[in-house]
Structure 1
């Protein structure tokens, strides 16, 4: 069988020496590329790669125009697989960041609007939640019972149309851990969620004897209560679980009347903070969904909005490209230091950043962390990076920020929201269903097969790019428009399916 390469595979960059299969390619198929005939020597699954030329030992293997591995000896037409490559990369020339120009902003007349809830501090929410926050795992059950019973018996969209819901933040932190960073990070995360513009009011619950108790949290509660209603409960002082739940429901009843007073009003896109994430990635994520989300991110930044990217272990191998996009040399240094810190962090536990790709990633064609990272960074677009911020820290201004944080979805997504993101764009190739407790998470599929199989969980199909039905720019604009619709109240699939994940990265074992 003889076919043009473009029908069954794609070459991402002119400097690449591998092609990525778009569909199953059977061994013996002859592909025609630039007048050359290449026999594919083995079965190649979608998302996997085969060599376009002989790759003798020590030859850099390239995709996106960048080396992602070194050949141990691969013949033209052979499959690129773990047994045939080394993760060792050639020395890469890093162009020092001087002063990269700011984005080309749209005029005020060109900036679209969305419908948001204005808070006392001047920020705007995409949702209007009442939050029940346990200070530790020891009061998480009480918090969850209050939220569940309040939504079942006190709240309805008919009676309180402006209230999104009552949500608990159950977690497994706050005690049974060292004092210091683990406790402080737990309290900081809870405080960031309570002060978040997607939250109208909050109840904070302690057991009473844990490390992360109300006394420790008091330094956060006082300034928070100046911005919005915050009330506290102690399980031990209330007299146990049932008494605490009853008092909590009484407080929710008061808060519902207060929260329902907020109404959506027009807000410029400049007031939107977007978190960008990927999870359950495959080889197509970096070719379709990530660059399309990156295009949408660029549009938001040109509207004077803000974008936050995290997952530091998943920029490893591509950090030099981000450093070249830094605002200046100081920010470039911060980017390299963020990766080096994470390398030391995982080393404390006897691990290495090269272990990052999950079994699902590898099955989907991501043979090592470098190829995963080269595709992952595309979701942050092309504009300059203003600064590197700490986990759950707020950006100091507008534009693109890189946040220190893990690749694990259950901890990195909450970190983006704690850093102020009122909405998250999340790409997936294998199909990830995660949402967030207080922020909508829009799911973008990298391929049509996954989208069709999981369309009740995924919002947008970037697989249209791979199928030839749309360009990156067209899907990017579609994502941008969907961001504004969801920010204005349209429920995303994760919300419809009841996904309200919340976990905390407490950075145990390493000082920040």
Structure 2
């Protein structure tokens, strides 16, 4: 609880100064006008009512000078008085992005944990060397024309064929209906869709696959099979294929699908969890419904967990390229070399050009909810958002639904739209995702746990049935970023081992869409 407003108290009683170079602080509790806070030996009187997540000035910021948070410019002052609320009225969004890179840029590798000291988890070892954390039977419609039948097969199978007591090593039967695959232009649209569906079919969280197609669409069963063959990616798992037109329509297809699932379940159940090094884990990091605390608590705590996974030989994937904008130079400066740094800039520039085709500019990214929570512009949002990826070096960039060539931190091209970017992370190999939220988000995925990490304790208490963990103690000052980060890491390990389910799994959230209306070549 904050002191009475008339009493001068240390800044930490009311607000957080993220970096010693900052000239603003973020309110962690309501700060009434007239509140006096101690900043070293000086006293700052707050001139406006400050709501949690918003900022007030720790110094007078003359017009034309930068307003700073995270030690970085977040805007340009229009004339900010000492103690004033930072708002769009007194701060413009003008921020310089210095993109120069030294030709000899070299970021050292992380301080890796010795293999003998690394954590382990219990997972499903696959023939390709990857390890799954779930074991699903997956129904894959090769186009929108087969989505209804795919859902029918999965729904009926889960209610009539799947019995956890009978098949203890199977997580269930699930479909990934979508609205892509026919009536679209050739080229990248088809390529990205096939790449995504193929990645789900061969994903280590999937133990068996039933492909279903109409028959005459652009992405029919033959096209999908040829795509997998061309990539030399055989599916070393039970597979069945059903053509709706060949099977006589919907009812015939559903009947065949149920027969295929019934035959597949005992085979998929034969695999059991075995110990695996944590280096076999790939973690996707995401955020949505962010607030002014997300970049101060949940995101850096997740970043601490991400750093720990990388140090233990694992892989971390971050996407939402629109939310790199304004902070891309930090990621580029952390690249392993200059070539990788330039690739970071290229992926952001590509997305700017892509957005411009639709009349959109990336500095309009913050939603009304973001702004209400204190994220006034894309720079503030991005500086907080990239904290999810920790502090280790950037190994490279990959396209949407493309798998990285090795372990470490990778940036995946993709939109900020949760229902498309989350499936992209999983198609890129993530066995699970940790999703930070300040205002509350419920999204899940068909084949992978999507764990929610709240930025504040109030939203966690309100939505406990949907949110897995809270980083709110960081805001309250009762736990450190390191403490919460290591709790997240251990929670991820336990979920990966099947010891506990994610709340999105318990609620059967199975969202799936494909970001396919573009070219994603980098």
Whether these two folds match at TM > 0.5 is: yes
Q: Output aligned runs, 1:39-438, within 5 Å.
A: 39-90=45-96, 92=98, 94=100, 96=102, 98-222=105-229, 223-438=232-447
CA spacing shift, 1:229–1:93, aligned 2, 3 Å = closer
Query: Could you give the per-residue CA deviations for residues 227-260 of structure 1, whole angstroms, max 9, x where no partner exists?
Result: 2222211111111111111110000001101110
DSSP 3-state at the match of 2:8: strand
**Equivalent residue number for residue 502 of structure 1:** 512
Work out the CA distance in 2 between the residues paired with 1:506 and 1:278.
21
Q: CA deviation at 1:208?
A: 1.8
Q: Output aligned runs, 1:4-43, within 5 Å.
A: 4=9, 5-43=11-49
Q: Is the 8 A contact 2:101 2:341 kept in 1?
A: no
Work out the CA distance in 2 between the residues paired with 1:75 and 1:94.
33
Q: Is the 8 A contact 1:423 1:440 kept in 2?
A: yes
Query: Could you give the per-residue CA deviations for residues 161-203 of structure 1, whole angstroms, max 9, x where no partner exists?
Result: 1001111000111122211111111111000000000001111
Aligned length: 512
Work out the CA distance in 2 between the residues paired with 1:210 and 1:73.
60
Q: Is the 8 A contact 1:2 1:32 kept in 2?
A: no
Work out the CA distance in 1 between the residues paired with 2:407 and 2:357.
35
CA spacing shift, 1:401–1:93, aligned 2, 3 Å = closer
CA spacing shift, 1:438–1:226, aligned 2, 3 Å = closer
Work out the CA distance in 1 between the residues paired with 2:441 and 2:57.
30
Q: Is the 8 A contact 1:94 1:324 kept in 2?
A: no
DSSP 3-state at the match of 1:451: helix
Q: CA deviation at 1:226?
A: 4.4
Structure 2: any 5+ residue segments left out of the alignment? 1-5
Q: Is the 8 A contact 1:345 1:510 kept in 2?
A: no
TM-score of the superposed pair, with normalisation by structure 1: 0.97
361-370 or 201-210, which moves further after superposition?
A: 201-210
Query: Could you give the per-residue CA deviations for residues 87-106 of structure 1, whole angstroms, max 9, x where no partner exists?
Result: 11135374536121111111
24-33 or 85-94, which moves further after superposition?
A: 85-94
Query: Could you give the per-residue CA deviations for residues 446-471 of structure 1, whole angstroms, max 9, x where no partner exists?
Result: 11111111111111111111111211
92-101 or 80-89, which moves further after superposition?
A: 92-101
CA spacing shift, 1:91–1:178, aligned 2, 3 Å = closer
Query: Could you give the per-residue CA deviations for residues 380-413 of structure 1, whole angstroms, max 9, x where no partner exists?
Result: 1111111111111111011111111111111111
Q: Is the 8 A contact 2:238 2:268 kept in 1?
A: no
Work out the CA distance in 2 between the residues paired with 1:178 and 1:102.
43
Q: Output aligned runs, 1:437-476, within 5 Å.
A: 437-476=446-485
Q: Is the 8 A contact 1:441 1:494 kept in 2?
A: yes
Q: Is the 8 A contact 2:66 2:75 kept in 1?
A: yes
5-14 or 71-80, which moves further after superposition?
A: 71-80
Work out the CA distance in 2 between the residues paired with 1:495 and 1:274.
17
CA spacing shift, 1:155–1:53, aligned 2, 3 Å = same
DSSP 3-state at the match of 2:283: strand
Work out the CA distance in 2 between the residues paired with 1:416 and 1:157.
28
219-228 or 154-163, which moves further after superposition?
A: 219-228
Work out the CA distance in 2 between the residues paired with 1:83 and 1:438.
45
Q: Is the 8 A contact 1:69 1:89 kept in 2?
A: yes
Work out the CA distance in 1 between the residues paired with 2:20 and 2:101.
21
Query: Could you give the per-residue CA deviations for residues 366-387 of structure 1, whole angstroms, max 9, x where no partner exists?
Result: 0000000001111111111111
Query: Could you give the per-residue CA deviations for residues 402-437 of structure 1, whole angstroms, max 9, x where no partner exists?
Result: 111111111111111001111111111111111111
Q: Is the 8 A contact 1:200 1:259 kept in 2?
A: yes
Please give the root-mean-square deviation of Cα atoms over the aligned residues, in Å.
1.4
Q: CA deviation at 1:37?
A: 2.2
Q: CA deviation at 1:31?
A: 2.0
